[in-house]
A and B are shown apart, each in its own frame.
Chain A
Amino acid sequence: MSIRVFIPRDAAAIAVGADEVAVALEKAAKKRGLSIEIVRNGSRGLLWLEPMVEVATAKGRVAYGPLDADDVDELLDAGMLDGGAHRLCHGITDDIPWLKRQTRLTFARCGVTDPVSLDDYRAHGGYRGLERALAIGPEAIVEEVFQSGLRGRGGAGFPTGIKWRTVAQTIAPQKYIVCNADEGDSGTFADRMIMEGDPFVLIEGMTIAGIAVGATKGYVYCRSEYPLAIAVMNDAIRTARRCGMLGANIAGSEYTFDLEVRSGAGAYVCGEETSLLESLEGKRALVRAKPPLPAHHGLFGKPTVINNVLSLATVPIVLDKGAAFYKDFGMGRSRGTMPIQLAGNVKQGGLFEVAFGITLGELVEEIGGGTASGRPVRAVQVGGPLGAYFPPSMFDTPFDYEAFAARDGLIGHGGIVVFDDSVDMAKQARFAMEFCAIESCGKCTPCRIGSTRGVETIDRIVRNEKRAENLAVLEDLCNTMKFGSLCALGGFTPYPVMSALTHFPEDFGAAPKRLEAAE
């Protein structure tokens, strides 16, 4: 019998040579007359170990990484196919502390299964959520999602159950489910990993949403920067359709639901839900004023559930295990788990799913292991380009929507970007304004004009031109953008700017902040 070897097809693994490792291993095994079956799985999320190859042994899957194609012969000599010891061997994958410390609910299967095998998906608990959903019916599904406390994982944290209930209660001949897969925040890659590593869970989540609110058509709007994710999603959708899990009479039921992937076109603002809907309709992605809410007037003016990939991918487990099971994890009003993404200048970067409540310091220092460069951590940006910069003195902040908001930050989509002490925070603040200027849809003035004025003002401050006056202008400008912008792009750009200014004033030429003033 051939030995199963798992080599990820995740873009992050491919970017560091997973394809080359697969080719080299296949060749070397053939030359030695060894029978192996290579499964191209998703990533387990231990990204600093990628390409991480796993071998199925009697004791369980044994992990090796990070591998280079040149290491293959040496590893085969060391008995890799029997789980043999080697300097790159990490033992049984499930026992690796970094993985063991996690609570994998949304990412339970990611990296474990063959992403495009429906049989594998079912064998690992897939479609049990749908089965229960069909048994309990639309109203009970909405109630279950509401009771679970699941909040929008895209960043806004709006209760998913309330969104669904609103759409369910709106009468219309046509409703839509739209998945926001326009994951543009730097430091985030969880949506990409789900689409590449466990696409059926997203299909299942969207199908359940469709049944719950009475929608028959769904769209996955995926950014064009993710070609591999788009390919895997399309592959999985075709399989689901062929096997009766999409289309008419899903799983033999009375319900109809079908899905289509649409590619974005490089506009960051499409991550904002109303702008995404405009884009899907084939228009310039200008943000819509709310109300009306997408739940009432969404895609093509029809009631629409628009949720992030992670929110929808979490629905199957909520239905399968029940609201109480999911709600049991977490703290305060942040229930369940959050797939946190550790990125940037970090020693052990990757996907770490854990119940809300873990502190920022635990994540950066213990899980992440500090910086990749080995220099001290100076700042971390949480929540993407619109998230605040936190200094190590605030590392006691627990990962929780409200706790971050209380400290003038946001958890956003759960990305943490680590910077070492070589970072220039005035430059980071300037970049935040510059990025906003590049990506502004142009509809509202605070964002369109404010961002450009922001870049100019920061330049003046750094050049020491009327520093005090210009600092006041910058603060005022940030206030205007925060309260006057139509959406989070202009509204949240002040977070990175003001946090950089508040916590790292010395980088703007001001006197260093005294330690006792940290809080």
Chain B
Amino acid sequence: MPVFEPWNVDRASAIIAELKDREGPLLPILHAFQETFGCVPEEAAPLIADKLNLSRAEVHGVITFYHDFRREPAGRHVLKMCRAEACQSMGCDTLIARAEGKLGVSLGETTADGRVTFEPIYCLGLCAMAPSAMLDGRVVGRLNDKRVDALVAEAQR
């Protein structure tokens, strides 16, 4: 399970200072923020805008364009299940419904106890090992009822 730091302006400014001279630094900065703080919080946009000499609207636009960037930290564990075509052909829809039932949330939601964020993903490139999933960055393939139950149980720990 990843451990994140609380939002800190000095820490954020240091990250920006380290990356700002790279060509096209905005995405690397946003990725670094998310790795450090677990999300790209509301406070990030004005700070980045100021240091990179961009408008707040531009930065906000970029943050919200990409699926990866979170506005708030995710649950303690993030379980992503693929729902693209190759996984569909092997019955991912049924397995996703099964996981939703066990977790008590729908795709895109976090459990009430904050333990698990359950998200769709569109292709992990494990299409010959379908259906596939990713738990906190670890890939799992050839899912069946038993493996989904084990993944959900692991995520809930």
Interface residues of A (CB under 8 A from B): 11-12, 14-16, 47-48, 50, 183-189, 191-192, 224-228, 262-268, 279-285, 300, 341-346, 349-350, 372, 381, 384-385, 415, 417-420, 423, 428, 431, 435, 438-439, 441
What are 9 A-B pairs with beta-carbon distances under 8 A? A15-B139, A47-B129, A184-B123, A265-B27, A349-B129, A350-B128, A417-B89, A417-B127, A423-B89
Instruction: Write out the residue numbers on chain A whose beta carbons fall within 8 Å of the beta carbon of B132.
Output: 15
Instruction: Write out the residue numbers on chain A whose beta carbons fall within 8 Å of the beta carbon of B87.
Output: 186
Decide if A265 touches B69 in the complex (CB within 8 Å).
yes
Decide if B24 touches A12 in the complex (CB within 8 Å).
no
Nearest A residue to B120, CB-CB? A438
Instruction: Write out the residue numbers on chain B whose beta carbons fall within 8 Å of the beta carbon of A191.
Output: 125
Instruction: Write out the residue numbers on chain B whose beta carbons fall within 8 Å of the beta carbon of A186.
Output: 82, 84-87, 122-123, 127
| Cα separation A283 to B84 with both chains bound (whole Å) | 26
Contact check: which of B23, B28, B90, B128 meets A189 at CB < 8 Å? B128
| Cα separation A266 to B30 with both chains bound (whole Å) | 13
| Cα separation A438 to B66 with both chains bound (whole Å) | 11
Instruction: Write out the residue numbers on chain A whose beta carbons fall within 8 Å of the beta carbon of B129.
Output: 12, 15-16, 47, 50, 349
Contact check: which of A265, A268, A343, A428 meets B127 at CB < 8 Å? A343
Within B2-46, the residues touching A (CB, 8 Å) are 23-28, 30-31
Contact check: which of B82, B85, B141 meets A417 at CB < 8 Å? B85
Within B70-85, the residues touching A (CB, 8 Å) are 82, 84-85
Decide if A265 touches B89 in the complex (CB within 8 Å).
no
Contact check: which of A11, A267, A284 meets B124 at CB < 8 Å? A11
Write the nearest CB–CB distance from B150 to chain A, whole angstroms.
13
Decide if A262 touches B128 in the complex (CB within 8 Å).
no
Decide if B125 touches A267 in the complex (CB within 8 Å).
no
Instruction: Write out the residue numbers on chain B whose beta carbons fall within 8 Å of the beta carbon of A438.
Output: 122
Which A-B residue pairs are the 4 nearest by beta carbons?
A: A349-B128, A282-B26, A186-B84, A343-B127
Please report whether the interface of chain A is mostly helix, strand, loop or mixed according to DSSP. Answer: mixed
* B116 on the A face (CB < 8 A): no
* B140 on the A face (CB < 8 A): yes
Nearest A residue to B139, CB-CB? A15
* B55 on the A face (CB < 8 A): no
Decide if A279 touches B27 in the complex (CB within 8 Å).
yes
Instruction: Write out the residue numbers on chain A whose beta carbons fall within 8 Å of the beta carbon of B140.
Output: 15
Instruction: Write out the residue numbers on chain A whose beta carbons fall within 8 Å of the beta carbon of B62.
Output: 282-284
Nearest A residue to B132, CB-CB? A15
Write the nearest CB–CB distance from B100 to chain A, whole angstroms.
18
Known contacts A186-B87, A344-B89, A346-B128: A263-B123 contact under CB 8 Å = no
Decide if B139 touches A11 in the complex (CB within 8 Å).
yes
| Cα separation A226 to B123 with both chains bound (whole Å) | 10
Known contacts A16-B141, A423-B89: A225-B121 contact under CB 8 Å = yes
Indicate the member of A12, A279, A415, A419 with the most B CB atoms within 10 Å. A12
Known contacts A14-B139, A428-B85: A372-B124 contact under CB 8 Å = no
Write the nearest CB–CB distance from B7 to chain A, whole angstroms.
20
Decide if B123 touches A185 in the complex (CB within 8 Å).
yes
| Cα separation A280 to B90 with both chains bound (whole Å) | 35
| Cα separation A435 to B87 with both chains bound (whole Å) | 14
Instruction: Write out the residue numbers on chain A whose beta carbons fall within 8 Å of the beta carbon of B28.
Output: 262-263
Contact check: which of A12, A265, A431 meets B88 at CB < 8 Å? A431
Contact check: which of A50, A225, A265, A350 meets B123 at CB < 8 Å? A225
Decide if B65 touches A267 in the complex (CB within 8 Å).
yes
Instruction: Write out the residue numbers on chain A whose beta carbons fall within 8 Å of the beta carbon of B25.
Output: 282
Instruction: Write out the residue numbers on chain A whose beta carbons fall within 8 Å of the beta carbon of B86.
Output: 186-187, 343-344, 415, 417
| Cα separation A160 to B58 with both chains bound (whole Å) | 34
Indicate the member of B61, B88, B142 with the most A CB atoms within 10 Å. B88
| Cα separation A192 to B25 with both chains bound (whole Å) | 25
Instruction: Write out the residue numbers on chain A whose beta carbons fall within 8 Å of the beta carbon of B134.
Output: 225
Contact bitstring B110-146, A, C-beta under 8 A = 1, else 0: 0000000000011111111110101001011110000
Please give 6 more A-B residue pairs, beta carbons under 8 A apart, in addition to A263-B31, A280-B24, A417-B89.
A15-B124, A48-B128, A265-B69, A343-B128, A346-B128, A428-B85
Instruction: Write out the residue numbers on chain B whose beta carbons fall within 8 Å of the beta carbon of A228.
Output: 139
Decide if B130 touches A344 in the complex (CB within 8 Å).
yes
Instruction: Write out the residue numbers on chain B whose beta carbons fall within 8 Å of the beta carbon of A48.
Output: 128
Known contacts A11-B139, A300-B23: A265-B125 contact under CB 8 Å = no
| Cα separation A124 to B38 with both chains bound (whole Å) | 42
* B67 on the A face (CB < 8 A): yes
Instruction: Write out the residue numbers on chain A whose beta carbons fall within 8 Å of the beta carbon of B67.
Output: 265-267
Decide if A435 touches B127 in the complex (CB within 8 Å).
no
Instruction: Write out the residue numbers on chain B whose beta carbons fall within 8 Å of the beta carbon of A415.
Output: 86, 127
Contact check: which of B65, B89, B137 meets A419 at CB < 8 Å? B89
Contact check: which of A47, A192, A263, A428 meets B27 at CB < 8 Å? A263
Instruction: Write out the residue numbers on chain A whose beta carbons fall within 8 Å of the beta carbon of B27.
Output: 262-263, 265, 279-280, 282
| Cα separation A343 to B129 with both chains bound (whole Å) | 8
Known contacts A417-B86, A423-B89, A431-B88: A285-B24 contact under CB 8 Å = no
Decide if B127 touches A189 in the complex (CB within 8 Å).
yes
Decide if B125 touches A385 in the complex (CB within 8 Å).
no
Instruction: Write out the residue numbers on chain A whose beta carbons fall within 8 Å of the beta carbon of B126.
Output: 11-12, 15, 189
Write the nearest CB–CB distance from B111 to chain A, whole angstroms.
22
| Cα separation A329 to B69 with both chains bound (whole Å) | 44
Decide if B125 touches A226 in the complex (CB within 8 Å).
yes
Decide if B122 touches A435 in the complex (CB within 8 Å).
yes
Nearest B residue to A267, CB-CB? B66
Decide if B125 touches A192 in the complex (CB within 8 Å).
yes
| Cα separation A284 to B64 with both chains bound (whole Å) | 9
Write the nearest CB–CB distance from B80 to chain A, whole angstroms.
9
| Cα separation A441 to B134 with both chains bound (whole Å) | 25
* B154 on the A face (CB < 8 A): no
| Cα separation A344 to B91 with both chains bound (whole Å) | 10
